[in-house]
Amino acid sequence: MLLPAKSEVARQLRHYRAWERSMLASPTDVTVRTTFEDSGYTLCVLMGKRCAREAADAAERYLRTNLVTHAQEQPERLAPSGFKAPSGAA
């Protein structure tokens, strides 16, 4: 399984949290909201999640763990047909 660099995850998580605070302070500012949503999308892509909140949680867990622990915490991925993917495949 390929994992993103922890430095990049940390950078994107800081970016997301900063825009989250800005958005909460100015919820009617369209530019702030758009940038916040864009940062959430980036974090989703980076962490392989569909929801920004889940992606932020996953990023925090990833940054607290080592590589082996993180891999053990991930659910088994199924191939598109519903069968278990071969070892080493996503």
Q: pLDDT tens across 41-87, in order?
A: 999 999 999 999 999 999 999 999 875 555 566 665 544 555 555 55
Is the sign of the CA dihedral 33, 39, 43, 48 positive or negative? positive
- Top-confidence residue, 71 or 12: 12
Question: Rounded to whole angstroms, how far apart are CA atoms 25 and 6?
Answer: 29
pTM above 0.75, yes or no: no
Angle between helix axes 6-25 and 30-47 (nearest 10 degrees) is 150
